[in-house]
């Protein structure tokens, strides 16, 4: 019984450790003024392998990218994707979850 409890404890801890590896990346974007702009950026970023979701706040000109568990997306890739879509990156802010 003790062995089962110990093993199940390790399994639960490893599951929580995996969840903690998703990042949330907030990107301030210059030139994003309409829903067509937002859709273009969102579509471009969602094609990236490590991207789980993309939310766009047109009023604040912020794109929020959430990466998949265990995936990463370097700032250079974020910037390149948005610049290639025709916009300028003003800043990138990261939060681990």
Q: Is residue 5 part of a domain?
A: no
What pLDDT does residue 41 have? 94
What is the band of 22 on the pLDDT scale with cuts at 50, 70, 90? confident
Exposed e or buried b per residue across 29-53, where buried means at least 16 C-beta atoms within 10 angstroms of its C-beta: beebeeeebbebbbebbeebebbee
Q: Is residue 6 part of a domain?
A: no
Q: Is residue 48 part of a domain?
A: yes
Q: What is the pTM of this model?
A: 0.75
Structurally, how many domains does the chain consist of?
A: 1
Q: At 86, which CATH number?
A: 3.30.70.100
Domain that holds residue 56: 22-96
**In sequence order, what are the residues at sequence separation of 6 or more whose Cβ sits closer than 8 angstroms to the Cβ of residue 60?**
none
Contact 97, 16 (CB under 8 A): no
Contact 86, 30 (CB under 8 A): no
- Segment 29-88, tens digit of pLDDT: 999 999 999 999 999 999 999 999 999 999 999 999 999 998 989 999 999 999 998 999
């Amino acid at each position: 019984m003790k062995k089962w409890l110990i093993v199940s404890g390790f399994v639960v801890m490893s599951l929580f450790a995996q969840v903690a590896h998703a990042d949330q990346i907030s990107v301030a974007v210059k030139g994003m003024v309409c829903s067509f702009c937002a859709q273009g950026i969102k579509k471009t970023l969602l094609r990236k392998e490590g991207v789980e979701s993309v939310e766009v706040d047109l009023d604040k000109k912020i794109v929020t990218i959430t990466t998949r568990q265990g995936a990463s997306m370097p700032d250079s890739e974020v910037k390149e994707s948005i610049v290639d879509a025709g916009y300028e990156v003003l800043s990138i802010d990261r939060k681990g979850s």
